[in-house]
Homo-oligomer: A and B are copies of this chain.
């Protein structure tokens, strides 16, 4: 789960990032609208936490830009003002929720989870490929009904592959799905590693991951 925090007060954003990190959410922090746009242009997020008061522009403008650019990522607005106007504007522009500062960290977490869950609920069904079943809910997979012991990264990678059985996924794409910006120093080789590990765990079955040199990877069932 990947979160973008747009907030200029470093102490606040840091506190949020640390807390969310505890629950396994990968957080990127932007302190201006401009840098937020850079992040958004490059990376897909599960949810955005957006402060209204930002040094360069108003957060609602950023939201408006996102929506008009077709970006439907759930957005939770933060505001220091007790301003009904701002809240209404935000909701009208397509914010999915708002929170008034000062807020309780736990409430923020709960709301973020709710937003992401709402989003994820549609696609939370089990994905199947031949004898392989993957359930996103528990990040667990079974092969001929025998549970497969996947680590988190392996499971994430498998999910990416399963959800895109038609087209081979480039290493770049897999990389983005697997790592947050903060893991910036991870080598591309890591992808190859996890592919290898997944292959090992799938070896006994008819499911395999094929390599398209210079293009990417694709999962398929030869059975």
Contacts A23-B188, A188-B23 given: A168-B138 contact, CB under 8 Å? Answer: yes
Determine the chain B residues whose CB is within 8 A of the CB of A41 once the complex forms.
97, 111, 114
Which residues of chain B have C-beta atoms less than 8 A from A22's C-beta? 188
- Bound Cα distance A147, B43 (Å): 30
Q: Which partner residue on chain B sits nearest A189 by CB separation?
A: B22
Q: CB distance A140 to B168 under 8 Å?
A: yes
B151 touches A213 (CB 8 A): yes
Interface size class of A (residues with CB under 8 A): 35 or more
A219 to chain B, nearest CB (A): 13
Q: Is A218 part of the contact surface with B, judged by Cβ < 8 Å?
A: yes
Contact B106 A218, beta carbon cutoff 8 Å: no
Q: 1/0 per position for A116-159, CB-CB distance to B under 8 A?
A: 01000000000000000001011110000000010110010000
Interface: A212 (CB within 8 A) = yes
Complex contact B172–A113 (CB within 8 A): yes
Q: Which of B111, B114, B181 contacts A107 (CB 8 A)?
A: B181
Interface on A for B, CB 8 Å cutoff? 22-24, 41-44, 97, 104-107, 110-111, 113-114, 117, 135, 137-140, 149, 151-152, 155, 166-172, 176, 181, 185, 188, 212-216, 218
| 25 sampled A-B residue pairs with Cβ under 8 A | A22-B188, A23-B172, A24-B170, A24-B172, A41-B114, A42-B107, A42-B111, A43-B110, A43-B114, A44-B117, A104-B181, A105-B185, A110-B176, A135-B167, A138-B168, A138-B170, A138-B212, A138-B216, A139-B212, A139-B215, A140-B168, A140-B212, A140-B215, A152-B214, A155-B215
Task: Report, nearest first, the 10 A-B pairs whose CB atoms are least far apart.
Answer: A138-B167, A152-B214, A138-B168, A42-B114, A42-B111, A139-B215, A42-B110, A137-B167, A23-B172, A43-B110
